[in-house]
Amino acid sequence: MAKQKREAHLATTSVHGGHEDRVSGAPVVPPIVQSSTFHWATPDDGELLYSRFGNNPNQLLVGAKVAAIEGTEAGVALGSGMAAVAMTLLALTKAGDHIVAASGLYGATHALLGQELPRRGIATTFVDPDMGEWEKALLPETRLLYIEIPVNPTLRIIDPRPIIAMAKEKGIHVVCDATFSSPVNFRAANVGIDVVVQSATKYLGGHSDLIAGVVTGPSEVIEEVTKMSRLYGPSLDPHAAWLLDRGIKTLDVRLKRHNENAMAVARFFESRSEVERVLYPGLESHPDHELAQEIMNGFGGMVSIVLKGGGEAADDFMEHLKLGMCAPSLGGVETLVSQPRYTSHAGLTPDLRRAQGIPDGFVRLSIGIEAAEDLIADFEQALSG
């Protein structure tokens, strides 16, 4: 009987994926190749290695590593999460095409789809994932469906399966931004999502010390994304790529701790009278708890709360924090706390924010890997003011 190739666990590919040089004397940690260009042994060598082209060794390694983790054919690492989103959308569409996207998206992605791409003849219809509007929004010229799992900052989980079925029938792509879940908690390829974009600035990097993005999917899509990146130029600097590779090695252990801590913190907030609502997919009270149990491998490190005292109480809570740091972004080892009304959703009116489930008093917490009891003690004293 033919021996089936055994697929390595994510914890293993996170450490070894992309590191292929097992020759004698090879360094265990690949060096940083901080070079923009590469020598030709003959005047017409022909192999054009140039770091903007995406073929710097550090950039190649990290793209291959994330593809191995995601279980997709190929991957490319770029200079930011937004570069990953933008190059993917440009690679998969042309003037006259149409995109259907979930309405709850990261602010810059929403602006790209709603304002920037229309200037280039690519239109987007935003749909409320709860209302089964996807099918109605499809046009003959629809080229891709775009979702985020989970949605920022309400942490709702969209069921991707009916969306994927629709896309398959039409022969178009589903692109999923899985930044908030990370491949540890959600392996998009397992449910049939073909293209995944991530801000590697967050959980993949994990240490709040770099800006990067990754796109993974079928080889022909990654080739097109790479072509776009060569033209528009958001390549990943070799040093940032090296840091990203180092960060990814601990992805599995970090995420397990993020998940555990976030669950403990969510339960703590649930027990507090100052808190009107706790949004965490791991809680039975979360509207998508069952779906999350079904399609996710972990509930994540993000917890959102709504304080009864509104904006004033939220300001007060943040001012009293001693351990949690007040900063946007997420996915680092340190706990970061922010209010969407000052950051990602600052551009919306209070009424519009409320309609999206983000009233004043909404606080988003990216729970780090500190000891849960220390975090809870900090939140307790900050709530007591």
Ligand X SMILES: Cc1ncc(COP(=O)(O)O)c(C=O)c1O
Binding site for ligand X (CB under 6 A): 80-82, 85, 106, 148, 152, 177, 179-180, 199, 201, 211, 213
**Which one from 106, 146, 203, 280 is the annotated catalytic residue?**
106
Shortest separation between residue 84's beta carbon and ligand X, angstroms:
8
Give the nearer residue to ligand X in terms of CB position, either 243 or 313: 243
Smallest gap, in angstroms, from Cβ of residue 199 to ligand X? 3
- Rounded to a whole number of angstroms, the minimum distance from the CB of residue 62 to ligand X is 14
Reference 333, options 245, 252, 258, 241; nearest CA is 258
Residue nearest to ligand X (CB): 81
Q: Which is nearer to ligand X, 85 or 248 (CB)?
A: 85
First to last CA, the chain: 68
Q: Write the CA distances from 119 to 99, 109, 113, 122, integer angstroms.
A: 14, 15, 10, 7
Tokens of 138: 């499809």
* Token pair of 271 as six digits: 């027990």
Catalytic residue chosen out of the listed positions 65, 143, 202, 353: 202
CB nearer ligand X, residue 82 or residue 279: 82
What Cα–Cα distance (Å) separates residue 281 from each residue in 106, 116, 299, 301? 18, 32, 6, 10
d(CA 106, CA 152): 7
| Residue/partner pairs of 357-360 with CB below 8 Å, 24 or more apart | 357/154, 357/156, 358/153, 358/154, 359/306, 359/310, 360/310, 360/311, 360/314
Cα separation, 319 vs 230, in Å, equals: 44
Of 198 and 259, which CB lies nearer to ligand X in the complex structure? 198
Task: Pick the catalytic residue from 52, 230, 256, 277.
Answer: 52
Give the nearer residue to ligand X in terms of CB position, either 268 or 362.
362
Residue whose pair of structure tokens reads 């029938």 in the numeric block: 169
106 catalytic per annotation: yes
Catalytic pick among 143, 146, 156, 177: 177
CB of 209 to ligand X, least distance (A): 12
CA dihedral 73, 78, 80, 86 (to 10 degrees): -70
CA distances (Å), 249 to each of 14, 104, 116, 196, 372, in order? 5, 31, 36, 20, 23
Task: Please report how close the Cβ of residue 239 comes to ligand X at its closest, in angstroms.
Answer: 16
Q: Is 202 a catalytic residue?
A: yes
Report how far apart, in Å, the C-alpha atoms of 191 and of each of 196, 285, 303 are.
Answer: 12, 25, 24
Min separation Cβ 216 and ligand X, Å:
14
State the nearest-atom distance from the C-beta of 271 to ligand X, in Å. 29
User: DSSP alpha helices (H): ranges in 171-250?
Assistant: 182-185, 219-232, 238-248
The partner residues of 100 in beta bridges, in order of sequence, read 125, 145
Q: CB nearer to ligand X: give 234 or 238.
A: 234
The residue (of 110 and 286) whose beta carbon lies closer to ligand X is 110
Taking alpha carbons only, the member of 106, 98, 99, 162 closest to residue 130 is 162
Residues acting as catalytic residues: 52, 106, 177, 202
